[in-house]
Amino acid sequence: MAIIAVPGTDREPGRPAPPRPTGPARTSLGRKVRDNLTGHTFLIGAVACFAVFSWYPMIRGIVMSFQRTRRGETTWVGWDNYSRIIADPSFWPAWKNTLYFTVLALVLGYAVPFFVAILLNEFRHAKGYLRILVYLPVMLPPASALFLFKFYAYDPSEAGLFNSILKALHLPTSEWMQSPEMTIPAMVIASTWMNMGSAVLIYLAALQNIPGELYEAAELDGAGIWRRIVHVTIPQTRLILALLAMLQIVATMQLFIEPLILANGAGAEDSATSVAYLIYQHGFFQNDLNGAAALGVIMLVVLAGFSAVYARLTAKQD
Amino acid sequence: MAQDSGTRTLISQAQLRRGRGRILYWTLLAVVVVVFTLVFLGPLYWMVTGALKSGQEIAQTPPSLFPKDPRPQNYVDAWNNLDLAKLLFNTFYYATGAVLFQLVFDAAAAYSLSKLRPIFGNLILGLMLATLMIPAMVLIVPQYVTVIDLPIVHINLLDSPFAIWLPLVANAFNIFLLKRFFDSIPEELMSAALMDGATPLRTLWSIILPMSRPILGVVAILAMTAVWKDFLWPKLVMPSPETRTVSVGIYAFAGGTPMNVVIAASVIAAIPTVIIFLIFQRNIMSGLTAGSVKG
Per-residue pLDDT tens over the stretch B242-283: 999 999 999 998 888 888 889 999 999 999 889 988 888 887
Q: What is the pLDDT of residues B149-180, one digit of tens each?
A: 888 888 999 999 999 999 999 999 899 989 98
> What is the reported pLDDT for A27?
64
A236 and A265 in a single domain? The answer is yes
Q: Report the interhelical angle of B121-130 vs B172-183 (nearest 10°).
A: 140
SS3 category, A65: coil
Burial (CB count <10 Å: 0-12, 13-18, 19+), residue B135: middle
| Banded pLDDT at A61 (limits 50, 70, 90) | very high
Question: Is the predicted pLDDT of residue A133 greater than 70, yes or no?
Answer: yes
Residue A117 has pLDDT above 80, yes or no: yes
For residues A244 and A101, state if they share a domain: yes
* A194/A220 same-domain check: yes
Cβ A130–B33 below 8 Å, yes or no? yes
A131 in any annotated domain: yes
Please check whether residues A299 and A220 belong to one and the same domain: yes
CA A155/CA B26 separation, integer angstroms: 36
Please indicate, yes or no, whether residues A68 and A154 belong to a single structural domain of this protein.
Answer: no
Both A51 and A144 in one domain: the answer is no
Residues of A in contact with B134 (CB under 8 A): 54, 58, 300
Q: Which of A133, A119, A103, A118 is nearest to A248 (CA)?
A: A103
For residue B153, the model assigns a pLDDT of: 87
CB contact under 8 A, B274 and A257: no
Q: What is the CATH number of the domain that holds A231?
A: 1.10.3720.10
State the Cα angle at A189 between A188 and A190, rounded to 5°.
Answer: 90
Residues of A in contact with B270 (CB under 8 A): 140-141, 144-145
pLDDT in tens, B113-146: 998 889 899 999 999 999 988 888 999 999 999 9
Query: Above pLDDT 70, what percent of chain A?
Result: 91
B77-290 maps to CATH 1.10.3720.10: yes
Burial of residue B154 (number of CB atoms within 10 Å: 0-12, 13-18, 19+): exposed
B 124-163: CB under 8 A from A: 124, 127-128, 131, 133-147, 150-151
Q: Which of B145, B167, B285 sits opposite A289 (nearest CB)?
A: B145
Half-sphere exposure of B179 (CA within 13 A, CB side): 23
Distance between CA atoms of B136 and A250, rounded to whole angstroms?
Answer: 10
Helix (H, G, I), strand (E, B) or coil at A69: strand
Q: Which chain A residues are within 8 Å of B263, Cβ to Cβ?
A: 147-148, 151-152
* Domain presence at residue A114: yes
How much is the pLDDT for B95? 95
Give A-chain residues touching B108 at CB under 8 angstroms: 42-43, 45-46
Written as one letter, the residue type at B271 is I
Is the minimum CB–CB distance between B122 and chain A shorter than 8 Å? Answer: no
In a domain, A1, yes or no: no
What is d(CA B175, CA B164) in angstroms, rounded to the nearest whole number?
A: 18
> Hey, are the CB atoms on A257 and B292 less than 8 Å from each other?
no
If one counts every other C-beta atom within 10 angstroms of the C-beta of residue B206, the result is 12
How would DSSP label each residue in A199-241?
HHHHHHHHHTTS-HHHHHHHHHTT--HHHHIIIIIHHHTHHHH
**Are A117 and A234 in the same domain?**
yes
Q: What does the alpha-carbon distance between residue A261 and residue A142 come to, in Å, rounded to a whole number?
A: 10
Restricting to B residues 217-276, those with a Cβ less than 8 Å away from any Cβ of A are 218, 225, 228-229, 231-232, 236, 246-248, 250-251, 254, 259, 262-263, 266-267, 269-270, 273-274, 276
- Say whether both A66 and A169 belong to one domain: no
Quick: pLDDT tens for B223-248: 988 898 999 999 999 999 999 999 99
DSSP-assigned letter for residue B61: S
Instruction: Note if the bond before A89 is cis, omega within 30 degrees.
Output: no
Identify which of B11, B121, B214 has the shortest CB distance to residue A3.
B214
- Residue A262, min C-alpha distance to chain B (Å): 11
Residue A141: how many CB atoms within 10 A of its CB?
24
Substitution target from B140, B158, B279 for chain A, most A beta carbons within 10 A: B140
Predicted model pTM: 0.86
Nearest to B223 by CA among B99, B110, B103: B99
Is A15 contained in some domain?
Answer: no
Instruction: Compare CB distances from B142 to A35, A57, A240 and report the shortest one's residue.
Output: A57
| A170: closest CA of chain B, how far (Å) | 13
Host domain of residue A154: 84-317
Residues A140 and A281 in one domain: yes
- B116:A39 CB<8 A: yes
The pLDDT mean for chain A works out to 84
What is the nearest CA distance from A174 to chain B, expressed in angstroms? Answer: 15
Instruction: Tell me, yes or no, whether A26 lies in a domain.
Output: no
ipTM score of complex: 0.87
Alpha-carbon distance of B290 to B295, in angstroms, equals 7
Interface check for B209 against chain A (CB to CB < 8 A): the answer is: no
Question: Is residue A272 domain-shared with residue A306, that is, in the same domain?
Answer: yes
Does residue B87 surpass a pLDDT of 90? Answer: yes
Task: Say how many Å lie between the first and final Cα of chain A, rounded.
Answer: 27
Using CB atoms, which residue from B108, B232, B270 is nearest to A45? B108
Indicate the helix (H) or strand (E) that contains A57. helix A56-64
Which of A141, A157, A168 is facing B229, going by the closest CB pair?
A141
pLDDT tens digits, A163-189: 888 888 878 877 777 778 888 898 999
Tell whether A112 and A232 lie within a shared domain: yes
According to DSSP, residue A55 is labeled I
Asked whether residue A21 carries a pLDDT value surpassing 60, the answer given is: no
Q: Are residues A215 and A68 in the same domain?
A: no
Sequence letter at residue A182: M
Closest Cα partner for A104 from A181, A210, A52, A217?
Answer: A181
Q: Please determine, for residue A11, whether its predicted confidence score (pLDDT) is greater than 50.
A: no
Residue A121 covered by a domain: yes
Domain tally for chain A? 2
Lowest mean pLDDT among A18-32, A97-111, B8-22, B75-89: A18-32
Q: Is residue A216 part of a domain?
A: yes
Asked if the model's pLDDT at residue B14 lies above 80, the reply is no
For all residues of chain B together, what is the average pLDDT? Answer: 87
Asked if residue B287 has pLDDT above 80, the reply is no
**Residue pair A159/A99 in contact by the 8 Å Cβ criterion:** no
Q: Where a domain ends, among A25, A50, A79? A: A79
HSE-CB of B65 using CA atoms within 13 angstroms? 2
- Could you tell me the pLDDT band of residue A12, with boundaries at 50, 70 and 90? very low
Burial of B3 (0-12, 13-18, 19+ CB in 10 A): exposed
